[in-house]
Structure 1
Amino acid sequence: MLRNPLRLAEERILAEQLRFIMEGLRIAFWPVVMAILLMVSILIDTHNAHILVPWGVAGTVANLNTGRLARTFLRAPLANRGAHGAVYSLMFALTLEGLVWGALAWIALDGINPGGSFVVLAVIAAMAGGAVSVQAAIPAVYVALGLPMGVLVLARLWYLGGDVHNGLTWLVLLYAVLVVGQALRFSRTVLKSIELRFENEALLGQLRESTTQADESRQLAETSNVAKSKFLAAASHDLRQPVHALGLFLDVLSRTELSAVQRELVTNAAAAGRASAEMLEVLLDFSRIEAGVVEPHVQPFAVQPLLNRIEREFAGQADAKGLEYRSRESDLVLASDPALVEFILRNLVSNAIRYTARGGLLVTCRLRGGQAMLAVHDTGIGIEASQQRAVFREFHQLGNPERDRTKGLGLGLAIVDGLVRALGPPHGLGLVSRPGRGSVFSVTLPISEAPPPASPKPALDDNPPRLRARVMVVDDDDAVRRGMVELLRDWGCDCQAAGSLDEALALARTWVPEAVVCDYRLREHITGVEVIAALRAQLMCPLPALLISGDTAPQRLREAVGSGLPLLHKPVSPGLLYRELVTILMAKPDTAEH
């Protein structure tokens, strides 16, 4: 008997959502085990060992059970008709994990040790927040973990009572609302991505079946490409907001008095946040190239320090795969944008390591016909001649039909190609490859007659000069507003925040800012450019201003860059934000003190 095709389509999507979750759970297995062991080692003492050790065993067993489900599903995928059963099994396993993590609040929150209580709440919050990017692809699966965890934590705080714990109860509720909202947005994003992928696959099938409809199919492909760009921009914007807020809060927290263990936890959390930010930066770089807003800053620079940095960064990855990493010494001085050239080389080296299983890679920069040729040689899988143009297309990957996310997004070489084109002549990109023998990716660069600059700009130290300035923050995201205010006040600023144009204008009537840091895209289709212009008109002065944007849509990028205002992209590192803020306040000599 034939099955309903609509039912088959729904089950196919559900199976793909499950695959997304199972891959994430497989990757997260060991980090969760390490988190359990770390919590036991931090919290254990003579009074709670009889409870905490069994908790650690229970958490490990629950995590092993979830990991077993993930490995079983990925090793021998279920037929489509079994997807619903797998969802129920996974929900049951995650409910057990949620109960275990919620039980930690009853074991470790005693109202006596605030530092330990903070660590416990922070780790539970990190587990709940981190699970969004893995389990929220199916909201019911995420609820299975988060609901028992949240109920037990709230019940413990309510039971302890007192002003402090009552305040923490409200903070936990607020965090739960924010995380659930983010989970729902992430679920919709994943669902749209899966549907878009299936639509693209169907489109490719139609193109193979009929060549007579080539013109119509090309138009559909262009429409799909626009939809893909919009999807990337929307997904990037929604994910940038919490990552940006997380970075701000962690920077403020790192400047407080913490124990050595707590500081290590904060450092690890910051490293995880930076890893998320780096993936978002890949999407931003791709969007910036599509928008045509990459502006090279050509200057003379020595290539050897660049080769040294790249080798230090990637030699460990090569060693882990048993590859030999070598780079030849070079005394050449190039005339190009050092940041873009470094980004190009980083992508080429990362790509070489990813597709090389034996042998190694060699990075060289040699003089060729009056120009420099920066090249990455590898002994990898090589590329067929028919594929050597296609590898520079976005999302095109060799040997990855299953779209393994550990192999990247398929944007590295597309970004390299776009950046070389943005640098313009005489820059050029070359590829020589033989299947089974390896590849040589090369970039042609002009030689500089001038010497390189003396030294790069120093980074922000741990105790930067304090700022004395009234700074207004305008952002419609509550978590970002609070994080920005805390960070700026920690730097010594008198800081107030507004969530809209009307709030900003009303605030400026009674509290006149000396600078404004404004999100680019606000609610009701208001832009940060409009907010800054209205504040300047009301105050009748050229108010110093910074734009911060989480939007990577090409049209939005062009609009923001065209405003002429300094533009930073979420997630913004505190060091970069500090330097840009100092730059716009340079006209006020009394805004900093040591």
Structure 2
Amino acid sequence: MTKSDFEVEYSAQFEGLDEVPPDRILTEQVRVVYRLLGRSAWLTLALSMFVAAILRNHGQSVWWWLTAQGILKLSEQVEVNLFYDPVRVADNPHRMVQWLCFTQSLHAAGWASLIWITGEHATPAEFTFILMALGGVLSGGVTTYGAMPQVHAAYIATFIAVNVATFFHLRDLLPDNPYFYMTPVLCIFYCIGTYMNTRVSGADYHRYISLGFANAALARNLAAQVEKVESARREAEAANAAKSTFLASASHDLRQPIHAAGLFMALLADSRLKPPQREMLSNATSALNASSEMLDALLDFSRAEAGVIAAQSRVFAIDDLLNEVESELGLQADEKRLSFRLHESGALVASDPALVRLILLNLVSNALRYTESGGILLGTRRRGARLVVEVWDTGIGIESEQHQLIFEDFRQIGNPERDRRKGLGLGLAIVRRLARIIESEVTLASRPGRGSVFRFDLPLIEQTPADMPLPTNGNGTAIAPYPKPPAGDIGTAAHILLLDDDPAILQGLGALLRQAGYSVSAVDTIEAALESAETDRPDLFICDFRLRHGRHGLEAAIALDQLYARTVPVLLITGDTHPDRIAQAAGNKIPVLFKPVEPRRILDTVAQLTG
């Protein structure tokens, strides 16, 4: 028996799934037939009673026929409703098929015998009525036994056998009336036609049942795949959280002593040193700055991971920003004897200047790090309504297959020795995150041995600053142009309360603030800070975020707010860069500086907060 096109397509579609055992399909076919028998038995019993009422003039034989029909139909209902057991069907479906063939053959014999009983004395009208009734019963069998052609075959075979016997019986009784004795032959042809329809229906049932099992298998496989994907996602999230926690913990533990060392070096720089000592101090400061830059990269990475960086768009001149970057990094280019050129355009853009500046600093620093000869070009060019910012270098270049890899976390090209002077491999990962925050994208073009160019674009503004209204925030308030902090006011007599659990930082920061002219109370616990604040009201409260015994600076700030009704400004200086901590600090709208902090920046911030 050859496969149909449907079966070939089905096999190809579900290839690789477990093959459905034939007994499982047979079990479902038996269950379908029993469900249909339970619905059709009452209808066929009603039809039997109707036929007997019409043919009641044929004597007791009709009533005996009706009695037999009633017994068969009621027995079938009792079996379906009281004794049918799906579990027993599943245990031995072949036995149930045999039982169905036997019982349905009895039903077929009952209906087929109707012509034998009434044929001798039936009128033409009654014969027509009988044929219509039998035709309806045979047609209904296509539906009832459609799921199992073998049961219908037993039914039809019995029907044909009785009709053959009826044919010879009527021919002997009515040899001169072929219209009567040929009626059973007509029924035989009808039986064959209905069985052919049942075979088609049976093939469809088989396919649909197989599809049901296949769909169930697909659903199970899909659920298993979804569970695998979900498990992989949870593992990835756990790994990412562990990475962030590790980075934050390592960053915090490293930032504390580096911050303290920076404070002491700042104090030492103002003392009287001999030239060799000042040179050693300069070398130590350079090494400390290198460590600080690495930690700053970790901080930027953590802030991007925490999702607390939000773009504050405003209109500014891009050339001013390019010149700031050149001023800040030009000295490094001079030290390596590289040219550093700018291509100014006089263009205005609308974006966050702080984030654009951070992107440029990372890109230019990266270019300087991997360029040994030639130079750096920092410029812009117009592209429709966008301004493309470009950083060109004549460095080592990047192979095309590495273009996407270099934007991954902790990925470095050309640094197999892990030289700490070449950073941690986070710069470009941070650049891509920041570019997406300002709704831009960083692209790369490079030729190995010839150099690279990194590009990102910004919205171009065609109006002049005088004609351009200031951008507004969500509540309609105008956003002022990008500010620069003022220098600290040396000699200010403000009183500062300092809280930190690190004795070295308390000593170093306290000395720095006193040297700048401030009055300082330094404590290492929240209780001591509140006691000091009650005795001498501070003009500024500076505290660390992470304190002893799991306590934190926000707790101290809240207690101080309750004491002085939020009139004392607070400054957090912390080395905790976990994304959750960063988000928590940002949510409390308290100024935060992340260790290590340059002493000059601390003094500038203190001057701002103390007025």
TM over 0.5: yes
The residue aligned with 2:319 is: 304
For residues 353-502 of structure 1, the aligned pairs below 5 Å read: 353-356=368-371, 360-423=375-438, 425=439, 427-435=440-448, 438-448=451-461, 449-451=463-465, 457=484, 460=487, 464-502=489-527
In 2, distance between residues paired with 1:372 and 1:299?
15
**Cα–Cα, structure 1 residues 479 and 327, in superposed 2: closer, same or farther, change >3 Å?**
same
In 2, distance between residues paired with 1:451 and 1:488?
40
Whether the aligned pair in 2 keeps the contact of 1:362 and 1:378 (CA below 8 Å) is yes
In 2, distance between residues paired with 1:467 and 1:573?
19
CA RMSD of aligned residues (A): 3.1
In 1, distance between residues paired with 2:271 and 2:484?
27
Measured after TM superposition, the shift of residue 485 of structure 1 is: 1.5
Whether the aligned pair in 1 keeps the contact of 2:547 and 2:553 (CA below 8 Å) is yes
Amino acid of the residue matched to residue 444 of structure 2?
A: L
Amino acid of the residue matched to residue 584 of structure 1?
A: L
In 1, distance between residues paired with 2:390 and 2:573?
36
Provide the TM-score with structure 2 as the length reference.
0.55
Whether the aligned pair in 2 keeps the contact of 1:459 and 1:575 (CA below 8 Å) is no
- What secondary structure does 2:571 align onto? strand
In 2, distance between residues paired with 1:437 and 1:536?
59
Q: Is residue 563 of structure 2 the alignment partner of residue 549 of structure 1?
A: no
For residues 218-367 of structure 1, the aligned pairs below 5 Å read: 219-258=234-273, 262-263=277-278, 265-311=280-326, 314=329, 325-356=340-371, 360-367=375-382
In 2, distance between residues paired with 1:218 and 1:404?
33
Whether the aligned pair in 2 keeps the contact of 1:428 and 1:445 (CA below 8 Å) is no
In 2, distance between residues paired with 1:457 and 1:316?
22
The residue aligned with 1:63 is: none
Which blocks of at least 5 consecutive residues in structure 1 are unaligned? 1-211, 587-594
Amino acid of the residue matched to residue 483 of structure 1?
A: G
- What secondary structure does 2:460 align onto? coil
- What secondary structure does 1:225 align onto? helix
Measured after TM superposition, the shift of residue 261 of structure 1 is: 5.5
Measured after TM superposition, the shift of residue 321 of structure 1 is: 6.1
Measured after TM superposition, the shift of residue 560 of structure 1 is: 1.0
In 1, distance between residues paired with 2:310 and 2:432?
15
Measured after TM superposition, the shift of residue 456 of structure 1 is: 6.5
The residue aligned with 1:58 is: none
The residue aligned with 2:173 is: none
Which blocks of at least 5 consecutive residues in structure 2 are unaligned? 1-226, 467-479
In 1, distance between residues paired with 2:320 and 2:458?
16
The residue aligned with 1:134 is: none
In 2, distance between residues paired with 1:315 and 1:581?
29
In 1, distance between residues paired with 2:400 and 2:279?
49
In 2, distance between residues paired with 1:393 and 1:514?
45
- What secondary structure does 2:310 align onto? coil
Whether the aligned pair in 2 keeps the contact of 1:300 and 1:450 (CA below 8 Å) is no
The residue aligned with 2:147 is: none
**Cα–Cα, structure 1 residues 473 and 311, in superposed 2: closer, same or farther, change >3 Å?**
closer
For residues 570-581 of structure 1, the aligned pairs below 5 Å read: 570-581=595-606
Provide the TM-score with structure 1 as the length reference.
0.56
In 2, distance between residues paired with 1:484 and 1:315?
31
Of 446-455 and 548-557, deviating more is 446-455
Measured after TM superposition, the shift of residue 566 of structure 1 is: 1.3
Whether the aligned pair in 1 keeps the contact of 2:353 and 2:482 (CA below 8 Å) is no
**Cα–Cα, structure 1 residues 443 and 519, in superposed 2: closer, same or farther, change >3 Å?**
same
Whether the aligned pair in 1 keeps the contact of 2:501 and 2:524 (CA below 8 Å) is yes
Measured after TM superposition, the shift of residue 438 of structure 1 is: 4.0
In 2, distance between residues paired with 1:541 and 1:359?
56
Measured after TM superposition, the shift of residue 552 of structure 1 is: 0.5
In 2, distance between residues paired with 1:300 and 1:474?
39
Whether the aligned pair in 2 keeps the contact of 1:520 and 1:527 (CA below 8 Å) is yes
Measured after TM superposition, the shift of residue 439 of structure 1 is: 3.1
Amino acid of the residue matched to residue 349 of structure 1?
A: V
Whether the aligned pair in 2 keeps the contact of 1:383 and 1:433 (CA below 8 Å) is yes
For residues 53-64 of structure 1, the aligned pairs below 5 Å read: none
**Cα–Cα, structure 1 residues 500 and 327, in superposed 2: closer, same or farther, change >3 Å?**
same
In 2, distance between residues paired with 1:419 and 1:287?
12
For residues 165-244 of structure 1, the aligned pairs below 5 Å read: 219-244=234-259
Measured after TM superposition, the shift of residue 480 of structure 1 is: 0.7
In 2, distance between residues paired with 1:465 and 1:321?
36
Of 390-399 and 221-230, deviating more is 221-230
In 1, distance between residues paired with 2:399 and 2:487?
47
Percent identical? 47
Measured after TM superposition, the shift of residue 459 of structure 1 is: 5.8
Whether the aligned pair in 1 keeps the contact of 2:493 and 2:518 (CA below 8 Å) is yes
The residue aligned with 1:524 is: 549
The residue aligned with 1:566 is: 591
The residue aligned with 2:197 is: none
In 2, distance between residues paired with 1:455 and 1:224?
38
Measured after TM superposition, the shift of residue 398 of structure 1 is: 2.5
**Cα–Cα, structure 1 residues 416 and 454, in superposed 2: closer, same or farther, change >3 Å?**
closer
In 2, distance between residues paired with 1:270 and 1:360?
27
**Cα–Cα, structure 1 residues 506 and 408, in superposed 2: closer, same or farther, change >3 Å?**
same
